[in-house]
């Protein structure tokens, strides 16, 4: 599916508002339901879930059938995994914990076809099992989305270098991991964590790169605040976050009713 990926790549390149959804559970029906929200992309959390290659391909297909691009977050800097996900039809990848320019150079080699990269040519779902091979290969390097995650203070300090590569579509800030790298684990409101995130946002503005964040409980006010801070794309919670918050609310309700019933 060329169109959803091309549309996403253009919006990111122009720093237009982009919305994403996030799945950590392996069933494609969840992704089909995300289509109701008309988000721009679905991220698959391969890094912190049990989602495997076969499940990823089904989720990618479900997203694209609904006209939505799909970006798996890979588990590590692994060329084989990236190649298999791209050949499964992914519109690009989100890569965790990028902090050095040489890491980006390797990612470009794995993601792009020659002459930019060294991605090998295959015939799989991405290429329409051969029926759209020429069109896919011809357009791929222009529409491949590569999002790098900034998750350490070392990455923050090197951010201007990391953003010099035109193949980088944008960054996604990981405040939890940044707080850990500052020896402030979980202290997301600490001034040093805020300063680090602001530094990345400012660097993206200077380099005209997209910059994203994820909201646990998205509201109209929270989304507006994120864009006001300088973010250009927002991931609107995830299936796990939604079920977590629903479970907490249901627990409060059931406990209240049990207490009432025993009076």
Please give the structure tokens belonging to residue 251: 């627990």
For the cut 60, the answer to whether the pLDDT of residue 74 exceeds it is yes
pLDDT of 262 reads 72
pLDDT of 261 reads 73
Q: Rounded CA gap, 168 and 165, in Å?
A: 6
Q: CB-based contacts of 254: which residues, under 8 Å, 6+ apart?
A: none
Dihedral pair phi/psi, residue 142, rounded to 5°: -80, -20
Q: Rounded CA gap, 239 and 45, in Å?
A: 11
Range of the domain at 124: 2-261
In a 10 Å sphere around its CB, with 0-12 CB exposed, 13-18 middle and 19+ buried, how is residue 88 labelled? buried
Whether the CB-CB separation of 167 and 144 falls below 8 Å is answered with yes
110: domain CATH number?
Answer: 3.20.20.60
Unique residue bearing structure tokens 């890979």: 74
pLDDT of 1 reads 55
260 pLDDT tier (thresholds 50, 70, 90): confident
Higher pLDDT, 2 or 63: 63
Q: Rounded CA gap, 246 and 238, in Å?
A: 12
189 pLDDT tier (thresholds 50, 70, 90): very high
Neighbours of 66 (CB within 10 A): 18
75 pLDDT tier (thresholds 50, 70, 90): very high
Q: Where are any strands of DSSP class E within the chain?
A: 18-23, 41-45, 69-73, 92-95, 145-150, 170-173, 210-215, 233-236
Q: Rounded CA gap, 165 and 73, in Å?
A: 20
- For the CA atoms of 125, 1, 145, 180, the dihedral, rounded to the nearest 10 degrees, stands at -70
pLDDT of 220 reads 96
Q: Rounded CA gap, 198 and 90, in Å?
A: 30
For the cut 90, the answer to whether the pLDDT of residue 263 exceeds it is no
How many domains in the chain?
A: 1
258 pLDDT tier (thresholds 50, 70, 90): confident
Could you read off the pLDDT of 2-39 as tens digits, one per residue?
Answer: 689 999 999 999 999 999 999 999 999 999 999 999 99
For the cut 70, the answer to whether the pLDDT of residue 209 exceeds it is yes
Q: Rounded CA gap, 128 and 68, in Å?
A: 17
| SS3 state of residue 64 | helix
88 pLDDT tier (thresholds 50, 70, 90): very high
Query: Most distant CA pair in the chain: distance in Å?
Result: 75
Question: Sign of dihedral through CA atoms 135, 212, 95, 195?
Answer: positive
Mean pLDDT confidence for 142-166: 97
């Amino acid at each position: 599916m060329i169109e959803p990926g091309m549309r996403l790549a253009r919006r990111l390149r122009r720093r237009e508002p982009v919305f994403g959804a996030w799945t950590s559970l392996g069933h494609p029906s969840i992704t089909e339901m995300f289509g109701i929200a008309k988000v721009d992309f679905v991220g698959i959390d391969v890094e912190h879930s049990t989602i495997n290659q076969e499940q990823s391909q089904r989720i990618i297909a479900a997203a694209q059938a609904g006209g939505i691009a799909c970006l798996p977050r890979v588990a590590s800097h692994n060329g084989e995994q990236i190649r298999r996900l791209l050949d499964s039809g992914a519109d690009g990848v989100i890569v965790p914990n990028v902090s050095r320019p040489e890491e980006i150079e390797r990612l470009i080699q794995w993601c792009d076809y020659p002459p930019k990269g060294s991605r090998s040519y295959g015939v799989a779902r991405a290429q329409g099992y051969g029926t759209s091979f020429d069109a896919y290969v011809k357009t791929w390097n222009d529409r491949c989305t590569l999002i790098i995650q900034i998750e350490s203070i070392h990455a923050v300090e090197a951010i201007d270098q990391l953003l010099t590569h035109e193949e980088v579509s944008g960054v996604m800030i990981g405040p939890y991991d940044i707080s850990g790298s500052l020896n402030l684990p979980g202290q997301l409101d600490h001034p040093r964590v805020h300063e680090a995130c602001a530094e990345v946002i400012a660097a993206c503005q200077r380099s005209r790169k997209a910059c994203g964040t994820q909201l646990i409980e998205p509201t109209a006010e929270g989304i507006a605040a994120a864009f006001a801070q300088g973010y250009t794309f927002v991931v609107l919670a995830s299936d796990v976050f939604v079920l977590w918050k629903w479970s907490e609310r249901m627990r409060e309700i059931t406990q209240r009713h049990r207490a009432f019933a025993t009076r």
